[in-house]
Chain A
Amino acid sequence: MALFTSILALRHDKRILRLPPYLSALCVIIGIGWLLVLPLDEYSRRTYISENAILPGQVHTYFGGSEHNVFRAYRHEVHGLIDKGVAERSERLSAIFHEQNLKVATQHYNYTVSNRTIANENVYAILQGPRADATEAIVLIGAWKNMADEVNNSGVALVLTLARYFKRWSLWSKDIIFLIPGDSTIGPQAWVDAYHDGHDERYVESLKIKSGALQAAVAVDYPAGPWGHRYDKLHVVYDGINGQLPNLDLFNTAVHISSSQMGVGSVIQRMWDHKDTYKDRLQTMLRGMLSQGLGHATGPHSSFIPYHVDAITLVTVGNGYHDEITLGKTLESLFRSLNNLLEHLHQSFFFYLLLQHKRFVSIGTYLPSAMLIAINFSITAMALWVKSGRSPEPIANPASTQPKNPAFKTPAEKQKDAKTAEEEDEKKEKKDAPPRPTTLIEKNGSQSIHPTASTQISERTLLTPLLLLLTAHTIGLLPLYTFNNWHAPALPALYITTANLTTLLPLIISFLLFWNFPTILTPHTLCLLQSFSLLLLGMFLAALATLNFSLSVIVGSVCVPLSFVRRTRHVGLTAAQMLGLALLNPCMVVQMGTKLLGVSLAQVLVQGAVGWHVWGLWTQVVVWLVWFPAWLVGAVVVASGMWE
Chain B
Amino acid sequence: MAIDTRQAIDTRQAMDTRHKVLLFGAAAAVRLLLFTVFPALPDLLAGRVDVSTPVTSFKRLQEGVFLYTHNVSPYDGGVYHQAPLLLPLFSLLPNPAHAPLATNVFYTAVDLASAHALAQVADSGFASVTPWFASPRRHLRWSSAAIAAGFLFNPFTIATCLARSTSALTNLAILTAMAKASQGASFTFILAAAFAAYMAMHPILLFPPLTILLYHARTRNSKTTPSVSPFVISHTLGFCTAIAALLTGSAFLTRSWDFLSATYGVRLLLPDLTPNVGLWWYFFIEMFDSFRDFFLAVFWLHAASYMPGLTIRLHKQPLFVACTLTGVFAIFTPYPSIADAALYLSLVPMFRHLFPLMRYTFLASASILYTSFLGPAFYHLWIYAGSGNANFFYAITLVWSLGLSVILGDSLYAALRDELDVERPELRDKEVRRI
Closest CB in chain A relative to B145 CB, distance in Å: 12
Specify which of B356, B362, B378, B386 is in contact with A350 (CB 8 Å cutoff). B386
Question: Which residues from chain A contact B386 at a C-beta distance below 8 Å?
Answer: 308, 344, 346, 350
Q: By CB atoms of chain A within 10 A, which of B369, B370, B384, B385 has the most?
A: B385
CA distance A244 to B362 in the complex (A): 34
Contacts of B380 in A (CB 8 A): 547
List chain B residues, Cβ under 8 A from A596: none
CA distance A539 to B377 in the complex (A): 12
Which residues of A, 440-478, contact B by the 8 Å Cβ criterion?
457
Nearest residue, chain B, Cβ from A308: B386
**Within 8 Å of chain A (Cβ to Cβ): is B98?**
no
- Chain A positions within 8 Å of B392 at CB level: 546
Cα(A385)–Cα(B373), bound, Å: 21
Q: Tell me if B362 and A546 are in contact (CB < 8 A).
A: no
B369 lies within 8 A of A546 (CB): no
Determine the chain A residues whose CB is within 8 A of the CB of B18 once the complex forms: none
B362 touching A543 by the CB < 8 A rule?
no
Which residue of chain A has the shortest Cβ distance to B384 in the bound complex? Answer: A308
**Are A543 and B369 in touch, CB under 8 angstroms?**
no
Check if A396 is an interface residue, CB within 8 A of chain B: no
In residues 351-401 of chain B, which contact A (Cβ within 8 Å)?
356, 362, 366, 369-370, 373-374, 377-378, 380-381, 384-388, 392
Known interface pairs A308-B385, A546-B377, A546-B381. Does A382 touch B362 (Cβ–Cβ under 8 Å)?
yes
A381 to B356, CA, bound (A): 20
Chain A 319-357 interface mask (CB, 8 Å, partner B; 1/0)? 000000000000000000000000010100011000000
Give B417 Cβ to nearest chain A Cβ, in Å: 15
Q: Does B139 contact A (CB under 8 A)?
A: no
Q: Is there an interface contact between A539 and B373, defined as CB atoms closer than 8 Å?
A: yes
B369/A535 in contact, CB under 8 A:
yes
A547 touches B381 (CB 8 A): yes
B70 interface contact, C-beta 8 A: no
Are B433's CB and A546's CB within 8 A? Answer: no
For B, the interface residue count at a CB cutoff of 8 angstroms equals 19
Q: Which of B362, B370, B374, B378 contacts A385 (CB 8 A)?
A: B362
B424 CB within 8 Å of chain A: no
Interface residues of A in 358-392 (CB under 8 A from B): 378, 381-382, 385
Q: Give every chain A residue within 8 A of B381 (Cβ-Cβ).
A: 546-547
- B388 vs chain A, min Cβ distance (A): 8
Between A1, A351, A381, A539, the greatest number of chain B beta carbons within 10 A of the residue's beta carbon is seen for A539
Residues of B within 8 A of A536 (CB): 369
| Residue in chain A with minimal CB distance to B434 | A1
B residues in contact with A351, CB < 8 Å: 387
Given the interface pairs A308-B385, A350-B386, A351-B387, the reply to whether A547 lies near B373 with Cβ below 8 Å is no
Whether A543 touches B373, Cβ cut-off 8 Å, given contacts A308-B386, A346-B386, A350-B387, is yes
B433 surroundings in chain A (CB, below 8 A) = 5
Mark each residue of chain A from 520 to 551: 1 if its CB lies under 8 Å from any CB of chain B, else 0.
Answer: 00000000000000011001101110110000
Whether the pair A547, B377 counts as a contact (CB closer than 8 A) is yes
Which of B366, B377, B378, B388 sits near A535, CB closer than 8 Å?
Answer: B366
User: Interface majority SS on A: helix, strand, loop or mixed?
Assistant: helix
Return the CB mask of A299-329 against B: 1 if under 8 Å, else 0: 0000000101000000000000000000000
B370 and A542 contact, CB distance less than 8 A? yes
Instruction: Report the minimal beta-carbon distance from A348 to chain B, rounded to whole angstroms.
Output: 11
A457–B358 Cα distance when bound, in Å, is 13
Distance A543 CA – B376 CA, assembled complex (angstroms): 9
A457-B362 in contact given A244-B385, A308-B386 (Cβ < 8 Å): no
Give the distance in Å from the alpha carbon of A543 to the alpha carbon of B377 in the complex: 6
Residues of B within 8 A of A306 (CB): 385
Cα distance, A547 to B388, chains bound together (Å): 10
Closest B residue, CB atoms, query A344: B386
Which B residues lie within 8 Å of A457 (CB)?
356
Chain B residues with Cβ under 8 A from A5's Cβ? 433-434
Q: How far does the Cβ of B372 sit from chain A's closest Cβ, in whole Å?
A: 9
- Most chain A Cβ neighbours within 10 Å, of B362, B380, B381, B386: B386
Q: Is the CB of A378 within 8 A of B377?
A: no
Chain B residues, CB < 8 A from A244: 385, 387
**A residues near B377, Cβ cutoff 8 Å:** 543-544, 546-547
With A1-B434, A308-B385 already in contact, the answer to whether A543 and B366 are too (CB < 8 A) is no
Distance in angstroms from B27 CB to nearest chain A CB is 15
Closest chain A residue, CB of each to CB of B359: A8
Contact residues in B for A543 (Cβ distance below 8 Å): 370, 373-374, 377
B385 touches A350 (CB 8 A): yes
* Set of chain B residues within 8 Å of A1, measured between Cβ atoms: 434
CB distance from B196 to the nearest CB of A (A): 31
Residues from chain A with a CB closer than 8 A to the CB of B374 are 542-543, 546
Q: A5-B433, A546-B378 are in contact. Are A539 and B370 (CB under 8 A)?
A: yes
- Residues in A neighbouring B373, C-beta threshold 8 A: 539-540, 542-543
In the assembly, what is the distance between CA of A59 and CA of B366, in Å?
56
Bound Cα distance A382, B370 (Å)? 14
In Å, the complex CA distance between A212 and B356 comes to 62
Interchain CA distance A361-B377 in the complex, whole Å? 22
Query: What's the least CB distance linking A9 to chain B, in Å?
Result: 9
| A581 to B360 Cα, complex, angstroms | 34
CB distance from B396 to the nearest CB of A (A): 10
- In the bound assembly, the distance between CA atoms of A137 and B103 in angstroms comes to 43
Question: Residue-by-residue, is B408-435 near A (CB-CB < 8 Å gives 1, otherwise 0)?
Answer: 0000000000000000000000000110
Q: Return B177 CB to nearest CB of chain A, in Å.
A: 30
Collect the chain A residues with CB atoms within 8 Å of residue B385's CB.
244, 306, 308, 350, 547
Chain B, residue nearest A470 (CB): B153
Give the distance in Å from the alpha carbon of A128 to the alpha carbon of B384 in the complex. 28
> B135-167: contact bitstring with A at CB < 8 Å (1 yes, 0 no)?
000000000000000000000000000000000
Docked CA distance A543–B369 (Å) = 11
Q: How far is the CA of A382 from the CA of B365 in the complex (A)?
A: 12
Contacts of B356 in A (CB 8 A): 457
Residues of B within 8 A of A540 (CB): 373
Complex formed: what's the CA distance from A547 to B374 in Å?
10
CA distance A346 to B389 in the complex (A): 11
Within the complex, the shortest CB–CB distance from A466 to chain B, in Å, comes to 10
Output the least CB separation between A323 and chain B (Å): 37
Cα–Cα, bound, A547→B366 (Å): 20
Give the distance in Å from the alpha carbon of A308 to the alpha carbon of B383 in the complex. 10
Complex formed: what's the CA distance from A346 to B382 in Å?
12
A461 nearest CB across to chain B (Å):
12
A308 to B374, CA, bound (A): 21
CA distance A42 to B321 in the complex (A): 56
Which residues of the partner chain B approach A382 to less than 8 Å between Cβ atoms? 362, 366
Write the nearest CB–CB distance from B355 to chain A, whole angstroms: 10
Q: How far is the CA of A539 from the CA of B356 in the complex (A)?
A: 26
Q: How far is the CA of A297 from the CA of B398 in the complex (A)?
A: 36
Closest-by-CB residue of B relative to A242 is: B385
Cα-based distance from A381 to B362 in the complex (angstroms): 10
Chain A residue nearest in CB terms to B149 = A463
Complex Cα distance, B296 from A626, in Å, reads 43
Q: Distance in Å from the Cβ of B252 to the closest Cβ of chain A?
A: 44
A540 to B380, CA, bound (A): 15
A11 to chain B, nearest CB (A): 9
Rounded to whole angstroms, the CA-CA distance of A495 and B74 in the bound complex is 57
Q: A353 CA to B388 CA in the complex, in Å?
A: 17
Tell me the smallest distance from the CB of B373 to a CB of chain A, in Å. 4
22 A-B pairs whose Cβ atoms sit less than 8 Å apart in the complex: A1-B434, A244-B385, A308-B385, A382-B362, A382-B366, A385-B362, A457-B356, A535-B366, A535-B369, A536-B369, A539-B366, A539-B370, A539-B373, A540-B373, A542-B373, A543-B370, A543-B373, A543-B374, A546-B381, A546-B392, A547-B380, A547-B381
Instruction: Known A-B contacts: A546-B374, A546-B388, A547-B377. Give 17 more (CB < 8 A).
Output: A1-B434, A5-B433, A5-B434, A244-B385, A244-B387, A306-B385, A308-B384, A351-B387, A382-B366, A535-B369, A536-B369, A539-B369, A540-B373, A542-B373, A542-B374, A546-B381, A547-B385
Q: Which 6 A-B pairs have the closest CB atoms?
A: A350-B387, A308-B386, A543-B373, A543-B377, A543-B374, A539-B370
